[in-house]
Structure 1
Amino acid sequence: MTAVVNEQTSYLSDRQCFAILDRASEDLQNGLALRAFLASIALAALRPEEARVLRVRDVELVDDGTGWLMVHPQAQERREKDSDRAGTVRRVPVCRELAAILQEETTRRDLGPDDAIFVLDNGRPLTAQVYRKVWQQARAAALQAHELDSPLGRHVSALRDARIAAWLRNGDQTAGHILAVAECAGMSAPRLAERFANCLRKPTRDEIPWDRLEAALALPEPSQSTSTARRP
């Protein structure tokens, strides 16, 4: 995945995402916790406020090293006008890399089922002020000068946008695929298509089923009895 920067939107590349995460892990006080937190956004397309409240019981891992996250709606999400799934718990797939990170963090801190996964090493809650400060420092260290002057990765949610864009580009982009991505992202399909329109491939002329479209839009031919009945 390459970085895309234009006047409308910008997406971090995989390399840039993980460069920023690696820089965040160098924080002397909470580097490991912060990297794990940011990785959950980068790999599962979570909203930062969703990741911050994840508990151990919300993670379901399976034998092949993957799993699922049970993501609970937050107050901010319930207020979003574009969310037609507000108030419902959604299942988000967990790749092997994220599963390993979550397991490592759970083991490192000896967490129980009801414990929050992402807290500071001193036991205090992870706040937006803390992770935003570390994010800005890591972004400044990982990106090049011309990238820092652009919108690229300006906010932590850029990790979520980059993952959603990758999901869209790396699939077949059928209606079913777009709906699945929208469900994982906790967005309505129309809002997803509007927000990430530049990630959707436009069909070529040869791919459009013109014959089926013409058949669907064609007017039915009047029957003989109907035509006769209408004659003066």
Structure 2
Amino acid sequence: MKDITYDVRVYKTEVYKGKKVTTYTVRWKTADKPWKRPFRRAAQADTFRGKLQGAASEGEAFSLLTGEPVSWGRTDSPQMGWYDFAVSYVDMKWKDASAKHRAGIAYALSLATFAMLNGATRPCSDQEVRTALRRWGFNTRERKKCSERVSGTLAWVARNSLPVSSLSTPAMARALLDAATSRLDGKRAAASTSRKHRVILSNAMAHAVEMKLLSKNPIPDLKWKVPKTTSQVDRRSVINPEQARKLLEAVRTQKPSGPLLMPFFAVLYFAGLRPEEAVNLRKDDMILPDAPDTWGEFYLTGATPDAGKEWTDSGQQRDERGLKHRPEGEGRPVPCAPELVAILRDHLKSFGTGPDGRVFFGVEGKVLATSTINRIWGKARQLALSPEEYASPLARRPYDLRHACLSTWLNAGVSPKQVAEWAGNSVEVLLRTYAKCLVGQDEISMRRISEVLGQGHSAQSAI
């Protein structure tokens, strides 16, 4: 049989101690072809090396295509290399995925791919390979537009990818998961990123089972310590009304964009809109009474998250989407406080509307850019806050204005069910997220406990 050999040599495990991460690399050779497999733990490397030695000692044939014993990949299933499979998975998900999710899938798979390469010498740096995969190989719309150099890099990855069937061994599945949940410097990725990438890998493996490339999904069977994370808002980031008005004034004074953007930030603070919802706000979505001290209303129907033009169907920087946590086409009413009504009426009178009737737009009349929003907000914090406040988490991101708004509503005694409806969240998520921002609840609880203890003490004294 071709593509097999009995000439196998297994070398001593190499240990590389970096500043933050130690890597254990198993190296072996089949005929004249070298192979290597990195592991994060010594025990994993020892187990894998022992299996290779055992197979070689028993006289098993090794595949020249995978570097592994032929018996490990023996299956009745069709064979497909990892890169070709990953591309097919990306193409399958592309149509129904949002632009941001497309980018997320590409990032996770580009990290995972390094665990599925054989030991061949790479034609370029790891960074260049990763960029080629993330920006072009795992992008359905852009793949055919890549340069000749990138095309050559992707072809090399395809030639040197291990077969998907190799993931039927726990060691390979573990290496895949470790690669997908690690940062570029080798440290574990943030908890939210690790969770997301594990889900993406598990979904990809489910697709491999559907394609009959694997008999079962290996990811759920791996013991994996769930990274600790919190979705609760840090109450130190929540501003009070006086601080909010100082920050809005600091935005307004910045020329030339400040006067255009002050109402945008006001909408985040007074109405609790997400930034992508505020960017998409149109004049027809608002009811702004001209009577003083009268509440208005927004009726939101969509959002435009900033996903990057290479990931959107339109080729625009922002992706046109429905509302978060809402079925396509379903809207959401949001109250508009009298102070915000006055701000928006003045804004429309002074500047009118921008592209497609949008209320907020850039100085040149284009769709509002995230870079402009962040730049103006960063400068406003410098102008309005003390050095100590500026160094703290206080209103560090524009999104913190939404947190301040919802916290204000809850602390004002508005029903959580009503706040959740206005905010576009479930009641459960709302209370879990803003649990630490409900001011005064701990004092009320302690006063009630004191009252009970005091009653018991009085009764005992009377006896």
TM-score bin (small chain): 0.7 to 0.9
SS in 1 for 2:392: coil
SS in 1 for 2:358: coil
Deviations 1:15-49, CA, capped at 9 Å, x for gaps: 11111111111111122111011111111011111
* Alignment match, 1:179: 417
Deviations 1:38-70, CA, capped at 9 Å, x for gaps: 111111011111101111000013464321101
**1:128 aligned to 2:370?**
yes
Conserved? CA contact 1:182–1:188, under 8 Å:
yes
SS in 2 for 1:43: helix
Deviations 1:162-184, CA, capped at 9 Å, x for gaps: 11100000116xxxx11000111
Residue number among 175, 179, 190 corresponding to 2:428 in the alignment:
190
**1:71 aligned to 2:300?**
yes
Q: Partner letter of residue 154 of structure 1?
A: R
Larger deviation, residues 100-109 vs 132-141: 100-109
Conserved? CA contact 1:57–1:114, under 8 Å:
no
**TM, length-normalised to structure 1:** 0.75
**TM, length-normalised to structure 2:** 0.39
* Alignment match, 2:349: 107
Q: Partner letter of residue 66 of structure 1?
A: W
* Alignment match, 1:222: none
Q: Partner letter of residue 384 of structure 2?
A: A
Deviations 1:50-91, CA, capped at 9 Å, x for gaps: 1011110000134643211012243659799xx644543100
Question: Which consecutive residues of structure 2, in runs of 5 or more, have no partner in the other structure?
Answer: 1-232, 306-319, 450-463
SS in 2 for 1:126: coil
* Alignment match, 1:9: 235
Q: Partner letter of residue 245 of structure 2?
A: F
Q: Which has the larger radius of gyration?
A: 2
* Alignment match, 1:116: 358
Conserved? CA contact 2:355–2:366, under 8 Å:
no
Task: Please give the residue correspondences for 1:92-171 in structure 2 after superposition, counting only pairs within 5 Å.
Answer: 92-111=334-353, 115-171=357-413
* Alignment match, 2:259: 32
Deviations 1:75-110, CA, capped at 9 Å, x for gaps: 659799xx6445431000011111111111111124
Aligned residue pair count: 195
Q: Partner letter of residue 37 of structure 1?
A: F
SS in 2 for 1:158: helix
% same residue:
32
* Alignment match, 1:3: none
SS in 2 for 1:121: coil
Conserved? CA contact 1:55–1:113, under 8 Å:
no
CA distance in 1, matches of 2:234, 2:245: 23
SS in 1 for 2:357: coil
SS in 2 for 1:192: helix
Question: Which consecutive residues of structure 1, in runs of 5 or more, have no partner in the other structure?
Answer: 1-6, 208-232
Conserved? CA contact 1:58–1:70, under 8 Å:
yes
SS in 2 for 1:12: coil
Q: Partner letter of residue 74 of structure 1?
A: A
SS in 2 for 1:180: helix
CA distance in 1, matches of 2:386, 2:325: 38
Conserved? CA contact 2:289–2:295, under 8 Å:
yes
CA distance in 1, matches of 2:382, 2:251: 11
CA distance in 2, matches of 1:112, 1:155: 25
* Alignment match, 2:72: none
* Alignment match, 1:211: none
SS in 1 for 2:348: helix
* Alignment match, 2:250: 23
* Alignment match, 1:50: 277
CA distance in 2, matches of 1:79, 1:164: 21
